[in-house]
Amino acid sequence: MCELVMDSGTENTNLSHFPFTYGKKTQITCMRPIQILLKPAFTGIILATLMDAHAYAQKTQKTPQLDEVHASLLAGKKKAMIAYASKERSFTIDVNAKTVKNSDIPGFITVDGQIVQATMVPSQPPIDASTMTTAQEKETLTKYMNYELGYYKKKLKQNYSQLQTEWVTIKDRLFLVWYFDMPKDYKLVSRQLYFSTLFSNQVLDLNAPVFKTEQFSHARATLTHLVNTLKTYDKNLDLEALKKQLDK
């Protein structure tokens, strides 16, 4: 039961040309918890942190025009789903929680008290994840992670520590789970947690900022639940039709 609270590849892949060097990331509303009432000033401060490497999502003249990626929170009377659809690919994530709503922080969703954001990172030139070996997948995801970490240090001036990485297979899909501690003098977020995987020719990334270290287990459990319900499709899904099904 879900009580909805709504407000309003190949072997010779050239990894040096992979998406991340273009600095383009598109935010997508994803699912995740924490009901926070933020004052406007505080919202601005926390946005600067939570958007972390995603803050550069804005298009520039040097950024190739790729698929626009926007996942939506589809909410029915007793069910909720995060869904994205383009002409060639789609994905859905079921959200089974007591409370689900769009966060006060743009681009985030709260699920049972944990804030979550999902982003799609287009690759250029395109890759085909379905033809990549496990070693290639790991190399690609590691390159993505290192790019993000470099962004933290060089652009955001955040000297993270205690980086931990794990390779996890969930429903036959390889994920790079990685997390690190923010500087001790940073008062807003204590840790950042990511689940990253390949989807078609892109990286699908779920992020959960952890405000207090003791909340890490809850944050990881939330992301684990979400990725366990991830379904991908090599076709367009009718989101309006999905929304109507959730209302039944």
For the chain, give every domain's residue range.
3-7+15-246
Q: How confident is the model at residue 151 (pLDDT cuts 50, 70, 90)?
A: confident
- Of the candidates 22, 198, 196, 19, the residue with the CA atom closest to the CA atom of residue 125: 19
Mean pLDDT value of segment 166-181: 96
Highest mean pLDDT among 12-26, 54-68, 105-119: 105-119
Q: Is the pLDDT of residue 15 over 50?
A: no
Q: What is the pLDDT of residues 220-248, one digit of tens each?
A: 999 999 999 999 998 999 988 988 888 87
Q: Which residues contact 118 (CB under 8 A, 6 or more apart)?
A: 28, 29, 30, 31, 71, 82, 93, 204, 205, 206, 207
Q: What is the pLDDT of residues 95-131, one digit of tens each?
A: 988 888 888 877 788 899 999 887 777 776 677 898 9
Mean pLDDT value of segment 171-191: 92
